Amino acid sequence: MRPLLVRRRLTPTAERASLLLEAVSEVETIDEAALPPAHLAGHALAAILADAPTLEPERVLLSVRGLAHAHLETRVAGVVAPLGDGHVRARARVVQRSGLVLEVEVLGHEGRAPGSPRPIPGKLAAFARAVSADEDEYALLQTWPTDFLVALCAAGVEAENESGLARLLRLSVDIVQPAPLERGVRLAIDGVRPVAGDTARVVFRVTRGRGRLVLRGDALIASALAHHPAVAIPARLAA
């Protein structure tokens, strides 16, 4: 794989953000004052994977740097570069007029090109529309794509705080094995533990079928839950 630049210009809307959240987490309402990080991460990862279709992610890191707002011109700028021995790293920044709002890093390896077109699940089609992607690109996939899975985790981490006070600060995901599109995927929040001040660490996993692990991860959130003893939160069905 040769180094390549990733460039996108978009104007995110609250309507498309709501569509994405409904597709990945069954949440239908958002705080219109600040777009959810899941929406911006979906855009950034979709752009990376569209420009580097042979990249097979193994680890994804999200860092929220500021609040993002709807109806503002937004730029995604990044680079995908080989690291040697078939390993690849992609980095992207999401910027609005106010400055940097999100950073994404993907570590993985170079895999095979996508296969033949096939029907895709309705939730994945809705996700593609939410991030303004070509559904035909997703029709070439055999497994749930990383952009969808990361958006699922980012949205789920915030959505599980029913008081609506959670705000994602950082998220790390390690992909264990692919999940075939024929199987649904399920996000489970294993626990929330206070860290310092108003922040808490959330541990989660995504499984498929009869509980086979797809990915595991943790996130740092700013939340009222950080002031309470460690708690476990029920799983949420995603797709």
Q: What is the pLDDT of residues 182-232, one digit of tens each?
A: 888 999 999 988 888 888 899 999 999 888 999 999 999 986 555 454 444
The reported pTM is 0.89
Per-residue pLDDT reduced to its tens digit, 129-176: 999 888 888 888 889 999 999 999 999 888 775 455 678 999 999 999
Query: What CATH number has the domain spanning 4-237?
Result: 3.10.129.10
Per-residue pLDDT reduced to its tens digit, 26-84: 665 566 667 899 999 999 999 999 999 999 999 999 999 999 999 999 999 999 999 99
What are the structural domain ranges in the chain?
A: 4-237
Instruction: Write the DSSP assignment of the chain as a string of letters.
Output: ---EEEEEEE---HHHHHHHHHHHHS-----TTS--HHHHHHHHHHHHHHH-TTEEEEEEEEEE-S---TTS-EEEEEEEEEEETTEEEEEEEEEETTEEEEEEEEEEEE-PPP-------HHHHHHHHHTT--HHHHTT-SB--HHHHHHHHHHHHHHTSTTS--EEEEEEEEE-S--BTTS-EEEEEEEEEEEETTEEEEEEEEEETTTEEEEEEEEEEE-GGGGS--B----EE--
Per-residue pLDDT reduced to its tens digit, 96-114: 998 999 999 999 999 877 7
